[in-house]
Amino acid sequence: MASGSRRAVLSAISGNALLTILKFAVALPTHSAAMMNEAVHSLMDTLNQVFLLIGLAQGKRQADARYAFGHGQKKYLWNLWSAIGLFSIGCGLGLAHAWHAWRQLHEGVGVSVIAIGDFNIDSIWLAAAVLAIAFVVEGYVLRIAWGEFSSRARLQSLSPWRKLFRAGDPTLLAVVLEDAIAVTGLMLASCGIALSRLTGNAAWDVGFSIAIALMLGVTAIILGAINMRFLSDVRDREAERIFETIAKAHREVEDYHDLRSIVVDEDHTVLVAEVEIREEAVLAGLRDHIDKHERTLLAALPESRRSDPALQSYVADRAAVQATLERIERIIDELEAQLRERCPRVSHVTIEVQGIVEDKSLQSETYPRELEDL
């Protein structure tokens, strides 16, 4: 899963770095506000994806003395800094440039002809060429990211569109959204430049540049909200529902309490719960297990000490405790194994036995009244 995200991020970095250079190369001589904001957009995308790559590398680090459940949440922290910081800055720079371009409208649409050596090139064709290259590159990167995103959705039996609202990997989702917005920005820039040339009114160029800048701001809000969800101790409701189903169906579990979970990252969930065990589940065949442990413990002692009353009492108590613990551990292991089989991302499970529930089917003749109050 992480390798697919890494591939998508590396593709996005390569593509956007190239587009940043090309867009600035055209925006500076043509003075196009829309192209300049597209260049800023690509620059912010490139820096953002570098942050995503750092987050992926940090998130893969294993648990240590300081981070008991691994470093997975560092990925969301880098994503959050990237989304709120870089895209907010990009939005601010874009709006500032659009305002500057609006105040300079009386100077004209911009440079119509650019001299390259002995050749004069119409700036509209130069802009069109860069935008065409950008469409190809952004489309290719979006195709890679969407392909990985769709394959994960199919594994979860979801449509890709439904998975957009239930994404488990915000890094991959960030790349998909950024590339989709980048393609939209290219269409806006194309419209602004074309309408400015056709009408002779540079206000079109400025207007569409404002739309591009505002898109960066919206991107910051969306990506920030997605990553905040994973940094605010969000519960894994699906894992909890699966545990509820397993606990209710288990013949030896009477009830469960205090069921909670925390999403560490998209591949790791921590779940804790308390369960009550049915008395008959613990007691059925327990005497045989106790006797077996007693025989094993006594056999390990020197024959001369086996008749010691104090030692026999100790062996009996230890055998009873050991047999009971083994029975309870078996039940807990079964619950954990079933949970991990149905929800593999649950990496840490803590199930505490809260108590043993008495068998209501026992009659007073066989169940001493003195034990009813225990």
Where helices occur in 250-374 by DSSP H, the ranges are 279-283, 286-299, 309-342
- Domain locations in the chain as residue ranges: 2-230, 237-360
Asked if 352 contacts 273 with a C-beta cutoff of 8 angstroms, the reply is yes
pTM of the model: 0.59
Asked if 90 contacts 216 with a C-beta cutoff of 8 angstroms, the reply is yes
**Phi, psi for residue 166 in degrees, rounded to 5:** -135, 35
Cα dist. 191→35, 126, 184, 257, 281 in Å? 11, 15, 11, 59, 73
Tell me which residue has tokens 């969000």: 234
- pLDDT for 340 equals 93
Measure the CA–CA gap between 128 and 139, rounded to whole angstroms: 16
361 Cα distance to chain centroid: 48
The pLDDT > 90 percentage for the chain reads 9
- pLDDT for 163 equals 54
- pLDDT for 363 equals 47
Question: For the chain, first and last CA: distance in Å?
Answer: 51
Q: How many CB atoms lie within 10 A of CB 307?
A: 8
- pLDDT for 191 equals 87
- pLDDT for 109 equals 44
Q: 245-299: per-residue pLDDT in tens?
A: 999 999 888 899 999 988 887 778 899 999 998 888 778 888 888 889 888 888 8
Structure token pair of residue 199: 């009408």
Q: 312-370: per-residue pLDDT in tens?
A: 888 888 888 888 888 889 899 999 999 999 999 898 899 988 877 776 655 445 545 54
CATH 3.30.70.1350 fits 237-360, yes or no: yes
Higher pLDDT, 295 or 230: 295
Cα dist. 14→26, 35, 36, 183 in Å? 19, 20, 20, 16
Q: Top-level CATH class of 2-230?
A: mainly alpha
Q: Indicate if the pLDDT at residue 216 is higher than 60.
A: yes
For residue 260, list its beta bridge partners.
272
